Amino acid sequence: NPHIQDILCKEVNSVMDSNGEIIYEELAKLPYLDSVISETLRLHSPAQRISRLATTDYPLGETGITLKAGQQIDFPIYAIHTSEEYYPKPFQFNPDRFMPENRHNIIPYTYLPFGAGPRNCIGMRFALLEAKLALAHIVTKYKFLQTPNTDVPIKYKRSLGLTAPQRLIVGIEKRLYLTRDYNYWSKRGINGPKPLPIFGSLLDFFIIPQPLQEINWFKKYGKIYGYYFLKNPVLTIADPELIKTILVKDFHVFTDRRFQQLKSRHPVMSKNMVDATGDDWKRIRSIASPTFTSGKMKSMYPRIRECLSDFMNHLETFADNKTELNAKDMYGNYTMDVIATCAFATKTDVHKNLDSLFVLNARRVFNFNLFKLLSMIILPAFVVKKLNLSGAGTNTGTEFFLNSTKQIISTRKQTKKKYNDFIQLLMDVEKGSDDERRDETDVHESHHVNEGKDELESEKKAFNIQLTDKHLTENEILAQALIFFLAGYETTATTLTFCTYELALNPHIQQRLYKEIVASVDSDGEISYEELAKLPFLDSVLSETLRLHSPAQRLARLASTDYKLGDTGITLYKGQMIEIPIYGIHHSEEYYPNPFQFNPDRFMPENRHNIIPYTYLPFGAGPRNCIGMRFALLEAKLALVHIIKKFRERSYIELDWIRKYGKIYGVFEGNTPILSVADPELIRKILVKDFHVFNSKKTNTLLESRAHPILVNNLIATNGDQWKRLRSVMTPAFSSAKMRKMYSMIKTCLNELLDSLDVYAIDNNEVDMKTMYGNLTMDVISSCAFGTQTNSHTDPNSVFVTNANKSLNPKPYRLLLSIMLPKVVMKLFNMKHAIEESANEFFFTIVRQIMNGRKNSKNKFNDFLDLLINLEKNDNNEDHNESHMNAGEEEKTIPKKTLSDVNHYITEDEILANAWIFFQAGYETTATTLTFATYELALNQHIQQKLYEEIQTSVDSKGDIDYDLLTKLPYLDAVISETLRLHAPSVRVARTASEDYRLGDTGIIIKKGQSVEVPIYAMAHLDEFFPNPESFIPDRFLPENKHNIVPYTYLPFGGGPRNCVGMRFGLMEAKLALAHVVLRYRFIESIRTDRPIQLLRNLFLHTPKRVVVGIQKR
């Protein structure tokens, strides 16, 4: 009955511990094991009969039979057990008869394998224990099979009294267990990731990068969960109080760090402080601690500074040429030089000589072989030894450093010469006092946020040991020297790399740090050890880097005895590992609001009280924290001070040009010279006062006459009188009255978006908002331009949507060819234009059909096409210019003067061209603005909350906002305005001179036909015009602050008479969408949210590749 065997095996496995053992209490509670034994005793009762003697005459119930004194009676157990009256299908082996839920069907005294009454089998309990224990272990290790020699039915021995088989031959094979050991946590009711055979949960860190997986697990399973390191169950604990108990209060239980599989098997390296256990660790740590005191750090300070000078000289070559550099490699070279100097008194000259023996062997040590590492973890020790897998790094590199260190020690002993490095300190060191572990400068640093009375007492107690030998052996010195090199190289280089990355992304933070540093250095540009330790913002920047990009993702401890974990009901057994998910804790929104945002202010002295103890653990905590913490911070801080003081990371190329060349400079577009002007007063003259000279836009290759004979007639591509006529005709289409008529059409499209977002929000999923907003704006433009419903959310493959996408997103090669090739050559490729002809013709056909239908209809439509067909003369009584910070008297009068006295008509081709441009311009720019706005709100929860509160207090009882109210919400307007500043869709605006023009008092003459560009994007990111320009600060645009904005530094819609005609429509659509989306959902940064945001390479627009954020229903 192999199926019964498998059921039994599964049940037993469910209670076995990680060592394949089962406790007495668990054994007694296994119902199926008990049922299997019971059914065996029924079907194959060892005793076939039970006998009793009557001691007196005895009437047998109502049978009329009298048993005489001395007469025997027998109970035929075997016959009763195989009676069909009592046991249906009695010769079938069916343990289910004895399962708890079925036992009531068994008639009392029809099951008598041990007899009954006072004279039943006294050894029954022992026999059952023996049988169950044996069967439990046997059935989980072996599988029994029927073979040709297995007797069916079974053949019994001829015997009196006992049932025994003549023989019992079965096949046997060993069970191949892949998952037996992976029920440890589930049977204890502890959640965790599902393990895989052999590897447990280990492969999860290779499928998804460990930092992302840590965040996933923390969010999914909470603060206590279990996972499997191979077959070993590991408990993960993220509760701060329990962490403190483990690392500090009960440190005596959790002194050791990790499983045997993870410890070095090298005869020397196994003696390093990381792998040492128990009293060995206490002795080594106690002796080595004085090497990292404040006094020792001061003595090494000049040596680190010397290494830093070499590093700075190397950086100079990159900075002089303003080229990119790989910060990771550069900082790796720096930390290698520092460790070589401070640990081995060796100069590597690593920046110039990458082929030195020291550098080559160092890289071998760090060149971890993943296959080798996994083999060391998985394979038994004797196999590892046989294959010579003593370390994951290359053995030749390790041996080089060990031999070099031996030689250094030997030479120093012979010469008696003293050096000021780590090896010398280890050679000379003796156990120091408790006070030596403390530093007077520690009070200034955030990593002491967890320290209090308990921590100091625990450390004192941990190191209160009597040492018979106060010195380290040579092998112990070798091991500590190499572990110092291994630990100090990668972690500090990584921290500096991430810090540089964050400073490059946050120039306002970099500038703030720069100001603190400049104010602290002396006249020679140097900074003392004591002064370095007192810089609060420098410490905060490094602390936030270590939080956001923790070098260590987990911290492990082993229980030295059985241990009850607080009041959780969980018992950790001796030898069991617990881990603290540092990375997951550091990225928990419960402990760190906006956890993915780089915000050093969290660690400023006035804010440190907000950090919950034991939620910040980059160096661990308790007596077994990182011994080299003070050295690492010194090395990193000193490097940052001098680098930030001297160099700045590059951001945007146009910003660099303005900073380098000023607000007026020349560039070339191909062979064409272009003058860039970033001076607000000159911009105002070009766009407004002297608009009559600059009324033409620079030719756009995609939109010029060679691009398409119809599309050339659109408002953006036209110039001169044709532009004036078209602008005059089209301006009324965007009046306030027309916007009101389109308002309800936009709301209808918006409901489709909200229905689609609901699907993601129900389960708190992630969503790509660029795609969602793209669908919305396509629906809006289709509806408001042509009265056509596209249903982009539900039908992305419709003919309209497919052709629209072809038109909106021309293939890059077609665009490039249309720019570079003459018409004659394009014809050879059967290409007339950049955009596929089929897409344009589909579009024109649709518009022509709509136009013809409406000409013969008396119905009125409130869309853009209807307004063009039934155009009216501009009503001069209505101000069609958006009121903004650039508006003045000239801004109001010049457009009216420019557009006066023009003929008032529009051709069919012009209607087609402008319907097309309205679709093109209105789709991408509004979708991009909404996408960037949602991204910034997800990263800035306090701003999102403030916006939500403004909207929530403004909607009516049905949750709606009318047109007039929408235009009066100041914070909503400020959020949209700040989005358009920080992420301006248009990178620059261009104008072409219609005559020779003298540019103010600059002495520059702009020749007729020459183009001038205004770098909109760069100007919006200048600190001169917008303090902290890389920060998202909507308050800049609140009514009470708008006066601080210099006119013509904020130009997302251009300026002057030729500004964006659809500005009012775009703002209405964006505000209405954002208001309803924020009112209904909360957006959060997720693990797939790009930081920094990834941009598409686009000749004309500033647009993201994607913006994935988390979404939650409010």
Q: Are 786 and 810 in contact (CB under 8 A)?
A: no
The CA angle 389-395-396, to the nearest 5 degrees, is 155
Q: Are 577 and 253 in contact (CB under 8 A)?
A: no
- Helix (H) or strand (E) holding 341, with range, is helix 327-344
- DSSP, collapsed to helix, strand or coil, labels residue 143 as strand
- The mean pLDDT of 467-482, rounded to a whole number, is 77
Q: Tell the residue number behind the tokens 């009294």, with chain if given.
A: 161
> Which pairing describes strands 577-580 and 555-558: parallel, antiparallel, or unpaired?
antiparallel
From CA 58, how far away is CA 1082, in angstroms rounded? 87
Residue 504 tokens read as 């490059």
Torsion of CA 176, 181, 183, 187, to 10 degrees: 120
From CA 996, how far away is CA 1035, in angstroms rounded? 42
pLDDT, residue 1083, reads: 94
Residue 187 has pLDDT above 90, yes or no: no
From CA 966, how far away is CA 1071, in angstroms rounded? 7
Q: Tell the residue number behind the tokens 């978006």, with chain if given.
A: 753
> Which pairing describes strands 232-237 and 577-580: parallel, antiparallel, or unpaired?
parallel
Identity of the residue numbered 338 = V
Q: What is the pLDDT of residues 312-364, one digit of tens each?
A: 888 877 776 666 778 788 888 888 888 888 877 777 777 777 667 777 777 77
* Averaged pLDDT score across all residues of the chain: 82
Please check if 1060 is assigned to a binding site.
yes
From CA 672, how far away is CA 518, in angstroms rounded? 43
Nearest to 666 by CA among 675, 657, 658: 675
Give me the sign of the Cα torsion angle 1048, 1053, 1058, 1062.
negative
- The mean pLDDT of 380-402, rounded to a whole number, is 63
pLDDT, residue 418, reads: 80
Quickly name the fold that domain 659-1113 has: Cytochrome p450 (1.10.630)
Domain boundaries, the chain: 2-174, 186-237, 243-646, 659-1113
- DSSP, collapsed to helix, strand or coil, labels residue 308 as helix
From CA 352, how far away is CA 364, in angstroms rounded? 19
Q: Are 612 and 598 in contact (CB under 8 A)?
A: no
pLDDT, residue 186, reads: 85
Give me the sign of the Cα torsion angle 908, 909, 913, 916.
positive
Residue 860 has pLDDT above 80, yes or no: no
CATH number assigned to the domain with residue range 243-646, chosen from the 4 options 2.40.280.10, 1.10.10.10, 1.10.645.10, 1.10.630.10: 1.10.630.10
Is the CATH code 1.10.630.10 the one for domain 2-174? yes
> Which pairing describes strands 997-999 and 1004-1006: parallel, antiparallel, or unpaired?
antiparallel
Identity of the residue numbered 700 = N
Helices H, strands E: what count in the chain? Answer: 40, 21
The count of other CB atoms within 10 Å of the CB of residue 69 is: 10
Q: How far is CA 94 from the centre of its chain?
A: 54
Q: Tell the residue number behind the tokens 């209904």, with chain if given.
A: 1080
Report the phi/psi class of residue 614: left, alpha or beta, with left for phi > 0 and alpha for psi in -120 to 50.
Answer: left
Q: Are 505 and 545 in contact (CB under 8 A)?
A: no
pLDDT, residue 804, reads: 66
Q: What is the pLDDT of residues 609-659, one digit of tens each?
A: 999 999 999 999 988 988 888 888 988 999 899 888 776 543 456 777 888
From CA 980, how far away is CA 984, in angstroms rounded? 5
Q: How far is CA 575 from CA 15, 232, 264, 578, 623, in A?
A: 19, 10, 18, 10, 20
Q: What is the pLDDT of residues 1050-1079, one digit of tens each?
A: 999 988 888 888 888 889 999 999 999 999
Q: pLDDT band for position 883 (50/70/90)?
A: very low
Burial 191-223 (b: 16+ CB within 10 A, else e): ebbebbeebbbbebeeeeeebebbbebbbebeb
986 or 225, which is more confident?
A: 225
Q: Which of 20-26's residues contact partners 24+ apart within 8 Å by CB, and which partners?
A: 20/137, 20/140, 20/181, 22/133, 22/136, 22/137, 24/129
The count of other CB atoms within 10 Å of the CB of residue 119 is: 9
**Shared fold status for 2-174 and 243-646:** yes
